[in-house]
Structure 1
């Protein structure tokens, strides 16, 4: 496998993407970055007095798309300075982390930010509704499928807004995996075997 490998992972809520990302990081012996990126970005912006929940709320201030929607990536500060600055700062942090060495980056439009990085391998993690509904009850404190889907809508708006691309569209990723079929550990092994094959 390449000396420097950066896995960027996007995922449906309830599909087990976070657990899969951690398993992949453990198997590769590298760090997993997720919410740390938000804190790095906030520090760069000089925001030190907000809780993690408040930082995540600020990061996700994306309103539903209107008919007059103009993508951020082609227009600029349509969303306002706080969200604008947070996204740019997060993007800068992601690029720096990727340059520093192999790692796994969860969410944060990492696949888009590193789309021109030859060391990046992007993955989208999805699952069928039955699997996600079961995980919602067992892993996500009794969340319903409707609640999981609502979170997915927020993720899609955020991604679509900042990238001009469609969240979850297989054409935007190197690999799409469905976690409904096999245990996460087995899926992780299959992903790494596939990466080994295509990267070398």
Structure 2
């Protein structure tokens, strides 16, 4: 496989996308970036006191949007820091990490940020409702399918707002995979094989 490929992984909540990204990074012997991006972006903005609760909010909480809505605010002494500023800071971090070498980047609209990068390959990970519902019970502390879908709606709003594209639209990604159909390990091997054929 081309050693310079940067893989971005977007995923439905509850489909095993984080685990799949981890397996891909291990198989390719490259770094996996996810929550570190938020911390690095926050540091870039001078926000140095992110708690785990703040991190969770930055990663998942996106309210219905208006032109004046500012979701990322009130961290430490930086109250009012705009969400757009945070998104731009995250985008800068993502570009820098991708320029540093091959890696796997999870979430953060990285597929959009790197869409013009020639060695970039984007994946969207989804799963059938029955599969996600079972994982909600077993892996996500008893979350219901409704709760998983609510998280998906937040991700979609965030992505749609900042990219101007539709989250999960196959046209936005190089490959869509359904984790309901095989083990995550086999899916990771299939992704690597597919990338080998197109890169």
Q: Which TM-score applies when normalising by structure 1? A: 0.90
- Distance in structure 1 (CA, Å) of the matches to 2:141 and 2:113: 32
1:63 deviates by: 2.7
Matching residue of 1:140:
140
Secondary structure of 1:9's partner?
Answer: strand
Matching residue of 1:166:
166
| 1:32–1:132 Cα change, 3 Å | same
Q: Which moved more, 1:52-61 or 1:10-19?
A: 52-61
After superposition, residues 21-100 of structure 1 pair within 5 angstroms as 21-58=21-58, 62-65=62-65, 78-80=68-70, 81-100=81-100
- Distance in structure 2 (CA, Å) of the matches to 1:4 and 1:175: 18
After superposition, residues 104-115 of structure 1 pair within 5 angstroms as 104-115=104-115
1:84 deviates by: 1.3
Q: How many residues align?
A: 189
Aligned partners of 1:58 and 1:83 also within 8 Å = no
1:61 deviates by: 5.5
- Distance in structure 1 (CA, Å) of the matches to 2:18 and 2:189: 16
1:46 deviates by: 0.6
Q: Which TM-score applies when normalising by structure 2? A: 0.91
CA RMSD of aligned residues (A): 1.4
Unmatched 5+ residue regions in structure 2?
Answer: 71-80
Matching residue of 1:9:
9
- Distance in structure 2 (CA, Å) of the matches to 1:83 and 1:60: 13
Matching residue of 1:152:
152
Secondary structure of 2:125's partner?
Answer: strand
- Distance in structure 1 (CA, Å) of the matches to 2:45 and 2:91: 13
Matching residue of 2:189:
189
